[in-house]
Amino acid sequence: MGAYNSAFEQALESNKRWASETAKSDSKFFPASAQGQSPAILWIGCSDSRVPETTVLGLKPGDVFTHRNIANIVSPTDLSLLSVVEFSVAHLKVKHIVVCGHSKCGGVAGCLANGKLGGSLDIWLQPLRALREKHGAELKGMEVDGQKAFMSAANVRQGVEVMKRIPTVIDAMKERGLQVHGLVYDLASGKLEDVDCDEKDDVAALREAAFERK
């Protein structure tokens, strides 16, 4: 138990140092933070400990509203995610939504291996498994690393597509120019790479028309 306690205690001590150093460098930071938040970005990312959104973006607490889950899956039936989207878009008025995957994702690797992960993980990752089956022909001729990179990007694209079909997001895109982006974080370089998620004009028109108020 010593190692476990040590890691936790170190985290608490690190917090004390951070709070003290932050207060010294910017005496207004914590008082301002306590007054409320106005983040410009909603980040939908993976729970992986190596991809902390505020750190990789070089931003500060209060700059990014966040939802993270295993393999950054965007599901239209995930009430937790939908609640985050509703609050950040309709109430906080974020200007950008980012769906971000990353290299070396365990969820992606697990789906490609097609093995049983156990418990709720197999249920949660079903959308990713379905995506793998959808792109089976394309994946067949790739090396393992290529498959992982392809699936990480495809998962982000699918997440962006689902996001753009959420009525609250559609309204904000039309009424105030909300933008939805897809990114993949490269663990080896620390850099974010843009994922091409552009849609044709006719596809966008059909998507928007499906939710027009009568």
Q: Which strand ranges, in their side-by-side order, compose the sheet holding 41-46?
A: 64-69, 41-46, 96-102, 179-186, 191-194
Over residues 164-180, the pLDDT tens digits come to: 999 999 999 999 999 99
Output the CA torsion sign for 88, 97, 50, 62: negative
Tell whether residue 197 is among the known ligand binding residues. Answer: no
Q: DSSP code of 95?
A: S
| Helix 201-209 / helix 167-176 crossing angle, nearest 10 deg | 120
* Predicted structure pTM score: 0.92
Over residues 17-37, the pLDDT tens digits come to: 999 999 999 999 999 999 999
Q: Provide the CB-side half-sphere exposure for 63 (13 A, CA).
A: 11
pLDDT at residue 198 in the model: 87
pLDDT at 1 over 60: no
pLDDT at residue 34 in the model: 98
Tell whether residue 67 is among the known ligand binding residues. Answer: no
pLDDT at residue 3 in the model: 63
pLDDT at 51 over 70: yes
- Which residues are part of the catalytic machinery? 46, 48, 50, 102, 105
How far apart are the C-alpha atoms of 3 and 24, rounded to whole Å? 31
